[in-house]
Amino acid sequence: MYLYKFIIVKFNVVQRSYIVGGTYLSSWNFIHIILLIHYLNSINFALLQVQAKMKLTLQMKTNNNSTKYWVFLGLIIVLMAGCKKDSEKQAEADDKVILDYLADNDLSATKHESGMYYIINAEGNGYSPSSNSVVEVKYKGYLTNGTVFDETEGNSSATMNLSGLITGWRIGLPMLKKGGKGTFFIPSALGYGSNATGNIPENSVLIFEIELIDFI
């Protein structure tokens, strides 16, 4: 067998002519090297195809996840818009209920920025409690149809942590001082909202007559 230079500059299979340089190799080894190079090139091509497929799959997954994210975000926005619209309608309905009650009973009340109406019958003396105070009170709670749902009996009083009570109380009690009395017309959002509680139906306007005995 003939010996050939390993480093090939030009090689023509048909004419069996080539230009060689470097280390001498036998024809058989030369063919093995050519086959090996061809094999390695095939592997490299296959790896490039796999890499391209993986990149495409990853891109598709990313696009799919992105689509799911935007769809989910869109649903949240729609739901929030719907809830806001519903709460605005309920606030308008509650306001009308309170105004009708005041008109029917010939009462004049002040509207708080929260949407609650109030009448201060006696301001009291000294300081006012904070929304975190423990208060001692006498009270009566009823609906606009006159149904009493809670009250202290006779001369008894109740002691409660104001921070654990409905928002209407946390807003209203600090308007009173020790010994003060007030009537508060609380829209449902500042009461029990859409949750029915005991004999209080959902979305009910609440009326509380409260006397602040003391607080700490």
The pLDDT tens digits for 34-47 are 665 666 666 666 66
For 164-173, what is the mean pLDDT?
97
The pLDDT > 90 percentage for the chain reads 60
- Is residue 8 pLDDT above 60, yes or no? no
Q: What residue type is 132 in one-letter code?
A: N
The answer to whether the beta carbons of residues 162 and 131 sit under 8 Å apart is yes
The larger pLDDT score, comparing residue 61 to residue 128, is at: 128
The pLDDT tens digits for 192-201 are 999 999 999 9
Q: What is the pLDDT of residue 18?
A: 41
Spatial separation of the C-alpha atoms in residues 165 and 141, rounded to whole Å? 13
Q: What is the pLDDT of residue 51?
A: 73
For 166-171, what is the mean pLDDT?
97
Expressed in angstroms, the distance from the first to the final Cα of the chain is 111
Q: Hey, which bits of the chain come out as E strands?
A: 3-12, 17-26, 110-111, 117-122, 134-143, 148-151, 158-161, 181-186, 206-215
Q: What is the pLDDT of residue 85?
A: 76
The residues that bridge with 64 in the sheet, in sequence order, are none
Query: What DSSP state is assigned to residue 154?
Result: T
The pLDDT tens digits for 109-124 are 999 999 999 999 999 9
- Is residue 57 pLDDT above 80, yes or no? no
- Dihedral sign of CA atoms 90, 94, 97, 103 in order: negative
pTM of the model: 0.64
Residue 41 CB-half CA count within 13 A: 6
- Is residue 9 pLDDT above 80, yes or no? no
The pLDDT tens digits for 75-94 are 566 455 556 678 999 999 99
Position 66 confidence tier, pLDDT thresholds 50, 70, 90: low
Spatial separation of the C-alpha atoms in residues 132 and 125, rounded to whole Å? 19
The pLDDT tens digits for 134-155 are 999 999 999 999 999 999 999 9
Position 70 confidence tier, pLDDT thresholds 50, 70, 90: low
Q: What is the pLDDT of residue 119?
A: 98
The larger pLDDT score, comparing residue 44 to residue 54, is at: 54
Q: What is the pLDDT of residue 11?
A: 43
Position 181 confidence tier, pLDDT thresholds 50, 70, 90: very high
Q: What is the pLDDT of residue 52?
A: 73
Spatial separation of the C-alpha atoms in residues 208 and 53, rounded to whole Å? 70
